[in-house]
Structure 1
Amino acid sequence: MATSNVDASSSSSSSATASLGVSRFQHTPYYCEENVYLLCKKLCNDGIAKSAGSDLFVVFISNEKKQIPLWHQKASHRADGVILWDYHAICVQKRKESSLPHLVWDLDSTLPFPSPLSTYIDETIRPSFQLFSEYQRVFRIVHAPIFLRSFASDRRHMKDSAGNWVYPPPAYDVIVAEDGTTHNLNEYMEMSSVDVVKSIGPDALDAVLTQKLGVLVSESHLEELFSQIS
């Protein structure tokens, strides 16, 4: 995960989650995919999420140009927190109780941690903000139990042509998938607006829960998708 300059003109109780702090979670700047992987594991291990992570979903955000504006990000140097990432990864926790909002866990956000999904969309994604076509965002939704078994990264994307680190890597070992795969981050990052589902129907819902790479949706279908997942 890297940045560019951008101009802004272009199933736990609420009390349990509210008491959590970002400092309880592993966070390495610019390694959002690994941060979200470890975050999902900790939420499961600490009893904040279901033990197998069935209520958790990893969301990758990017587009064809690898230029996506997001607001309220800690790495921003602007008052409104806007920044241009090449991609970003967050966790959404779906809660079945109708009285409780779905939650977004974003370790790079300045919003409350976690934040209600609707608030995160309004404040971080800002769908009402008119963007040029090259900044339109695509969302890959992957069920956490599948992601935790399948994801792998040897961090090659964080090295320059001479083999030097662009950003310092985490101190822990690289993440290897259960089947021995050592790197597939590019598969999660690659996404195009032409591949987003046109509507949230049975096929899209099945893909989220069964497919390694989940399903691609536009921001207009993001809340609807989580509202329909059983």
Structure 2
Amino acid sequence: MATLNSNASSSSSSSLSPTLEASRFLHTPHYCEENVYMLCKNLSEDGIAKSDSSDLFVVFISNEKKQASSFRFISIWGFLADGVILWDYHVICVQNFKYGKGLFRDFRVFRIVHAPIFLRNFASDRRHMKDSDGNWNSPPPSYDVIVAQDGTVHNLNEYMEMSSADVVKTIGADTVETVLAQKLGVLVSETQLEELFSLIS
């Protein structure tokens, strides 16, 4: 995740469950895709999610312009930011889908990927976080790079590429089947999110 613009202040949520304290989970600023990858693993290992991660979904958020802004973005840690935050893309983990209209401002495309599939197939050697001279734009995580089960070393770009032209036309049982079976899941619009997750749950 590259933070392009931030005009926000954060405040802690007092209702955050002790079992979900942010300090329990690995987090590296500007590496949202890896943070979500590790979060899915940790939630499953800790018994907060199913052991096979089957109740978790990974959601990539972007559009053709590579602009994913949010007007009151609620993070997975329970913090609330007021103001406009603009990324080229963002990634979140969804367990129990709760949707509030206006949470996402402007049109976006959402790539919905089933977490077990994401954990097997996602790979990142972090090349996108280096400048043309090979210097880090932001310090990388301390753990090794993520390699897919088939040996792929980098495919983040496949998840990030999104176009409104590729958004599914209608949401139905076949859409859910695709989410639960395909490496790259499905692309949906903001207006289709609630309908899709209502069918999944």
Indicate the TM-score class for this superposition, using the shorter chain for normalisation: 0.7 to 0.9
Aligned to 1:122: 101
Aligned to 1:18: 17
Contact 1:74/1:81 (CA < 8 Å) preserved in 2? no
CA drift at 1:80: 1.9
CA drift at 1:3: 2.1
Amino acid aligned to 1:87 = Y
> For residues 60-92 of structure 1, what are the alpha-carbon distances to aligned partners after superposition, in whole Å with 9 as ceiling and x for unaligned?
0011111111134599xxx72321100000011
Amino acid aligned to 1:53 = S
Aligned to 2:140: 169
Q: Alpha carbon RMSD of aligned pairs, Å?
A: 2.2
State the identity %.
Answer: 71
Equivalent residue pairs, number? 188
Asked whether 1:197 is paired with 2:200, we answer: no
Q: Sort the Cα spacing of 1:66 and 1:153 in 2 relative to 1 into closer, same or farther, 3 A.
A: same
Q: Counterparts of 1:88-127 in structure 2 under 5 Å? A: 88-93=90-95, 102-103=96-97, 117-118=98-99, 121-122=100-101, 124-126=103-105
Amino acid aligned to 2:87 = W
Residue aligned with 1:124, SS = coil
CA distance in 1, matches of 2:179, 2:111: 9
Give structure 1 stretches of 5+ with no counterpart. Answer: 8-16, 94-101, 104-116
Aligned to 2:66: 66
Aligned to 1:156: 127
Question: Which TM-score applies when normalising by structure 1?
Answer: 0.76
Amino acid aligned to 1:47 = G
Q: Sort the Cα spacing of 1:168 and 1:6 in 2 relative to 1 into closer, same or farther, 3 A.
A: closer
Residue aligned with 1:178, SS = coil
CA distance in 2, matches of 1:42, 1:65: 32
Amino acid aligned to 1:80 = D
CA distance in 2, matches of 1:152, 1:199: 30
Question: Which TM-score applies when normalising by structure 2?
Answer: 0.87
Q: Sort the Cα spacing of 1:74 and 1:159 in 2 relative to 1 into closer, same or farther, 3 A.
A: farther
Contact 1:137/1:218 (CA < 8 Å) preserved in 2? yes
Q: Counterparts of 1:38-53 in structure 2 under 5 Å? A: 38-53=38-53
Amino acid aligned to 2:150 = D
> For residues 75-112 of structure 1, what are the alpha-carbon distances to aligned partners after superposition, in whole Å with 9 as ceiling and x for unaligned?
9xxx723211000000111xxxxxxxx24xxxxxxxxx
Contact 1:137/1:219 (CA < 8 Å) preserved in 2? yes
Aligned to 2:197: 226
CA drift at 1:123: 5.7
Amino acid aligned to 1:176 = V
Contact 1:40/1:91 (CA < 8 Å) preserved in 2? yes
Residue aligned with 2:82, SS = coil
CA distance in 1, matches of 2:74, 2:27: 12
- Bigger shift: residues 66-75 or 155-164: 66-75
- Bigger shift: residues 40-49 or 18-27: 18-27
Structure possessing the higher relative contact order (Cα contacts under 8 Å, 6 or more residues apart): 2
Contact 1:6/1:69 (CA < 8 Å) preserved in 2? no
